[in-house]
Amino acid sequence: MTIQLKQDERIDQLMQYDLEIIQSPSVFSFSLDAVLLGNFAKVPTHDRAKVVDLCSGNGAVALMLSQKTKSNITAIELQERLADMAQRSIQLNHLTERVEMIHADVKDAVTHIKKDSVDVLTCNPPYFTVTSESRKNPNTHLAIARHELHLNLKELMETSADLLKTKGKAYFVHRPERFLEIMDEMRAVRIAPKRIRFVYPRKGKEANMLLIEGIKHGKETGLKIAPPLYVFDEQDNYFPEVRRMIYGNE
């Protein structure tokens, strides 16, 4: 299929999943956090689940999930340019029957997706709070993707709780410095944190990413802390587990 690329766009490979995705350095390029989230999220393999990816960006996580389940995926992205990139990537990979991209504000998700209907929800949200001291990216596209200009943690969790059915699962990637706040906001809307994994750039360094699974109306007990995930070894090569997530079993 011939897909028109815009001036600053390129096509990259999502190696493990044998997918191609349209990227742009000046608008948005997915990074390791998206790969980690796509790997961390557990989706049923059957075709009867309702799967939603919020803050979808250029659709990387939604595309990854489409290769782990026969169920359809609905993705929501606020920025029109990113939603357009995602839509063309969906076409590029012949997935228009399986992946739907909706250009909308996540806070309005319930106007597009029925409340209490979602089995699995994923989100790679903006990480950084906005204060008068915030140093926001001068690039508007990147600023919206990284800073809570249009969606904060409380709003994200409220929307997630609205969408999920009872016992539905939510998966988030975020920053460790906001761990307690994330836990508080999840529990405030009755999404019980169930599994957590801290991601470290290398051994001996502080964690710089956090993966968390929650269950709507789940029991408060039974939280599991998964083994740490280290990204790079002493030679700056990916550790085998991360390498498999990116490239698959070569």
Least confident of 24-33, 70-79, 189-198: 24-33
DSSP for 206-224, please give it. Answer: ---EEEEEEEET--SS--E
Spatial separation of the C-alpha atoms in residues 51 and 1, rounded to whole Å: 26
What pLDDT is stored for residue 250 in this prediction? 65
Mean pLDDT, residues 104-122 taken together = 97
pLDDT band at 26 (very low <50, low <70, confident <90, very high): confident
Question: Which CATH architecture fits 33-247?
Answer: 3-Layer(aba) Sandwich (3.40)
pLDDT at 130 over 70: no
**What are the residue boundaries of the structural domains of the chain, listed by start?**
33-247
What are the phi and psi torsion angles at 187 (to 5°)? -70, -30
pLDDT at 134 over 70: no
- Name every residue whose Cβ is closer than 8 Å to that of residue 241 and which is 6 or more positions away in sequence: 229
pLDDT band at 151 (very low <50, low <70, confident <90, very high): confident
Helix (H) or strand (E) holding 195: strand 191-200
What are the phi and psi torsion angles at 29 (to 5°)? -135, 130
Angle between helices 240-247 and 32-40 (to 10 degrees): 90
What are the phi and psi torsion angles at 164 (to 5°)? -70, 140
CA pseudo-torsion sign 71, 168, 189, 173: negative
What pLDDT is stored for residue 29 in this prediction? 82
Mean pLDDT, residues 115-138 taken together = 77
Q: pLDDT tens, 154-193?
A: 999 999 999 999 999 999 999 999 999 999 999 999 999 9
What pLDDT is stored for residue 126 in this prediction? 76
What pLDDT is stored for residue 127 in this prediction? 75
What pLDDT is stored for residue 137 in this prediction? 55
Q: How many CB atoms neighbour CB 149 within 10 A?
A: 16
The residue among 4, 42, 8 whose CA lies nearest residue 26 is 8
Spatial separation of the C-alpha atoms in residues 83 and 58, rounded to whole Å: 6
pLDDT band at 133 (very low <50, low <70, confident <90, very high): low
**74 with 53: CB under 8 angstroms?**
yes
Mean pLDDT, residues 2-10 taken together = 88
What pLDDT is stored for residue 50 in this prediction? 98
Spatial separation of the C-alpha atoms in residues 99 and 59, rounded to whole Å: 9
- Classify strands 229-230 and 209-216 as parallel, antiparallel or unpaired: unpaired
Q: Looking at per-residue confidence, does 162 or 143 come out higher? A: 162
pLDDT band at 135 (very low <50, low <70, confident <90, very high): low
Spatial separation of the C-alpha atoms in residues 140 and 3, rounded to whole Å: 25
| DSSP label at residue 233 | -
pLDDT at 62 over 60: yes
pLDDT band at 140 (very low <50, low <70, confident <90, very high): low
Query: Which two three-digit tokens encode residue 200?
Result: 């470290």
What pLDDT is stored for residue 7 in this prediction? 86
The residue among 67, 65, 85 whose CA lies nearest residue 11 is 85
